[in-house]
């Protein structure tokens, strides 16, 4: 029997597993596949709607909505989770900057402005409140990143921006270009030398140059410093469309830390069902080659995500169910109530709030408000009570509740 099983390898599961390992446990992480880590921009959005202090905005939210997942962690819990996350990233030489004092505005791959609380240092010079003309540069070979289009959209918002395509430096063999392949190319100093020379020639009056977030896997901070030296401008990464290189960097950092601390990760292990009695979960069963594999543990963390992550499933009849443990869900009663007429309306789409209701210790509740399993905590998008798309609290909420769940289970 293990001491701890974590189900899900998105930010909630990874943060939970790391914090449980910090508490001396040896978590086994079981996940059907990668989490949203491989899609996300790599920024940690805590509360995108906040105009000023995020701490104040969170305190107000928690007072007004004590059922919100952030209320389970509290403002101090959010701050502690972010501190742990930043210490992890810093130790891996992939530091995060930002604060809970205010959001910054970073450009998207299309040139929209997006609020973010914490972001890799490699994106820091992309804060669009900083002064000075900006050059956006990319490669025709990299799909879904169009510098002239993005710069045009920034210019339409009153920002001094230009976009150029660079020539692909000579490479040794034919490649199928995607974000990961480009990131590997940027690991090569000779590739960067060529790009840096082109950037210097194209720079004009720009003091900052934005490139797609593919500036290396091994040492992105070093790659940015090298390109800065070569181009004479500040360099920043702009999140691309999936697959996300910053997200993959983070996943690897978490995985390595969890394994170093004595944990284990099994990706490709879908949890199909659970076995428990008298309010205690005894085992979960994952899909294996010839038969189901049983995993017994003292405590379990459920971090299987929402509809996007596969933790919550729906069908055309209006059924909504939790996929791993078969827990009761808080969800709209019928399919007709899932959606509001507009995508980003006042109240949001009710179906996005579907998830597991919990008590203050993140233990799952049934419809009558009784704890289903006392040795289970739930974290991340699997939780009911938030609409992270509209609230723009995505990864922040996953980290905060993953961390908080570990405090509860580890104690
Ligand atoms: C395209 C995209 C872009 C995003 N961009 C941003 C952004 O810019 N900023 C931001 O802050 N956030 C962003 N997010 C959101 C954010 O990354 C996640 O929504 C958030 O981190 C939720 O994390 P999670 O750990 O709860 O769930 P997920 O990341 O969804 O992870 C769920 C995990 O559970 C596993 N799982 C599911 N069911 C089972 C099962 N039955 N058995 C075993 N394993 C199971 C999955 O395989 C996965 O490993 C984005 C998300 C997406 C999809």
The model's pLDDT over 7-19, given as tens digits with 9 standing for 90+, comes to 999 999 999 999 9
By CB neighbour count within 10 A (0-12 exposed, 13-18 middle, 19+ buried), where does 139 fall? buried
Q: Which residues have C-beta within 8 Å of that of residue 121, sequence separation ≥ 6?
A: 94, 95, 96, 97, 221, 224
Tell me what pLDDT residue 345 has: 65
The residue nearest atom 5 of ligand 1, judged by CA position, is 40
Ligand 1 proximity of 358 Cβ (cutoff 6 Å)? no
By CB neighbour count within 10 A (0-12 exposed, 13-18 middle, 19+ buried), where does 262 fall? exposed
Residue 169 counted as domain residue: yes
Best of 16, 42, 305 for a ligand 1 pocket test (most atoms within 8 Å of beta carbon): 305
Token reading at 126: 């992309």
Residue 337 counted as domain residue: yes
CA of 34 to the centre of ligand 1 (A): 8
Domain count, the chain: 2
Do 192 and 219 have their domain in common? yes
Q: Could you give the CA distance from residue 230 to residue 216 in angstroms, rounded to a whole number?
A: 16
Do 259 and 138 have their domain in common? no
Residue 183 counted as domain residue: yes
Ligand 1 proximity of 244 Cβ (cutoff 6 Å)? no
Which three-class secondary structure state does DSSP give residue 254? helix
Ligand 1 proximity of 324 Cβ (cutoff 6 Å)? yes
CA–centroid distance for 135 within its chain:
27
- pLDDT per residue over 303-348, tens digit each? 999 988 999 999 999 999 999 999 999 999 889 888 888 766 667 7
Residue 61 counted as domain residue: yes
CA–centroid distance for 257 within its chain:
17
Token reading at 194: 């060529």
Residue 100 counted as domain residue: no
- The last residue of a domain, from among 238, 255, 276: 238
Do 52 and 136 have their domain in common? no
Do 157 and 181 have their domain in common? yes
Looking up residue 191, the CATH number of its domain turns out to be: 3.40.50
Tell me what pLDDT residue 344 has: 65
Do 285 and 302 have their domain in common? yes
Residue 302 counted as domain residue: yes
Residue 214 counted as domain residue: yes
Do 172 and 271 have their domain in common? no
What is the average pLDDT value for the chain, to the nearest integer? 95
Task: For the chain, give the percent of residues with pLDDT over 90.
Answer: 87
Best of 16, 40, 118 for a ligand 1 pocket test (most atoms within 8 Å of beta carbon): 40
Do 325 and 383 have their domain in common? yes
Do 258 and 339 have their domain in common? yes
Task: For the chain, give the percent of residues with pLDDT over 70.
Answer: 99
The residue nearest atom 53 of ligand 1, judged by CA position, is 36
- The last residue of a domain, from among 174, 208, 238: 238
- In this structure, what are the phi and psi dihedrals at residue 165, rounded to the nearest 5 degrees? -95, 140
Token reading at 242: 């999936």
- pLDDT per residue over 280-299, tens digit each? 999 999 988 888 999 999 99
Do 227 and 251 have their domain in common? no
- pLDDT per residue over 100-142, tens digit each? 999 999 999 999 999 999 999 999 999 999 999 999 999 999 9
Do 304 and 352 have their domain in common? yes
Do 304 and 381 have their domain in common? yes
- The last residue of a domain, from among 238, 264, 285: 238
pTM over 0.85: yes
- Domain containing 122 equals 109-238
Residue 104 counted as domain residue: no
Do 298 and 346 have their domain in common? yes
Helix spans in 301-411 (H): 388-391, 394-410
Looking up residue 402, the CATH number of its domain turns out to be: 3.50.50.60
Asked if 224 and 215 touch (Cβ cutoff 8 Å), the reply is: yes
Confidence of residue 271 (pLDDT cuts 50, 70, 90): very high
């Amino acid at each position: 029997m293990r001491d701890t099983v974590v189900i899900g390898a998105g930010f909630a599961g990874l943060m939970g597993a790391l914090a449980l390992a910090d508490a001396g446990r040896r978590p086994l992480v079981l996940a059907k596949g990668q989490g949203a880590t491989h899609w996300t921009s790599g920024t940690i959005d805590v509360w995108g709607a906040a105009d000023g202090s995020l701490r104040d905005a969170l305190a107000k939210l928690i007072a007004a909505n004590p059922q919100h997942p952030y209320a389970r962690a509290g403002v101090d819990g959010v701050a502690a989770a972010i501190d742990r996350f930043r210490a992890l990233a810093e130790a891996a030489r992939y530091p995060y900057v930002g604060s809970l004092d205010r959001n910054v505005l970073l450009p998207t791959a299309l040139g929209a402005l997006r609020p973010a609380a914490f972001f890799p240092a490699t994106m820091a010079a992309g804060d669009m409140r900083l002064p000075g003309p900006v050059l956006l540069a990319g490669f025709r070979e990299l799909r879904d990143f169009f510098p002239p289009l993005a710069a045009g959209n920034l210019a339409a918002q009153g920002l001094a921006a230009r976009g150029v395509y660079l020539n692909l430096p000579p490479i040794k063999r034919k490649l199928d270009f995607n974000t990961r392949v480009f990131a590997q190319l940027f690991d090569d100093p000779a590739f960067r030398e060529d790009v840096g020379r082109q950037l210097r020639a194209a720079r004009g009056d720009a003091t900052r140059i934005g490139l797609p977030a593919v500036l290396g896997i091994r040492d992105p901070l070093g790659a940015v410093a090298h390109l800065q030296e070569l181009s004479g401008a500040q360099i920043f990464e702009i999140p691309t469309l999936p697959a996300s290189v910053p997200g993959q960097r983070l996943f690897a950092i978490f995985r390595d830390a969890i394994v170093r601390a004595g944990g284990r990760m099994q990706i490709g292990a879908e949890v199909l069902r659970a076995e428990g009695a008298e309010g205690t979960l005894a085992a979960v069963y994952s899909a294996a080659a010839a038969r189901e594999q049983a995993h017994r543990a003292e405590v379990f963390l459920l971090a299987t995500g929402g509809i996007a992550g596969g933790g919550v499933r729906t069908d055309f009849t209006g059924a909504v169910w939790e996929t791993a443990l078969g827990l009761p869900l808080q969800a709209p009663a019928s399919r007709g109530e899932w959606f509001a007429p507009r995508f980003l309306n006042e109240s949001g789409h009710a179906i996005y709030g579907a998830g597991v209701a919990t008590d203050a210790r993140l233990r799952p509740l049934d419809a009558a408000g009784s704890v289903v399993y006392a040795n289970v905590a739930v974290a991340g998008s699997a939780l009911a009570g938030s609409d992270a798309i509209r609230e723009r609290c995505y990864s922040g909420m996953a980290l905060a509740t993953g961390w908080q769940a570990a405090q509860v289970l580890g104690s």
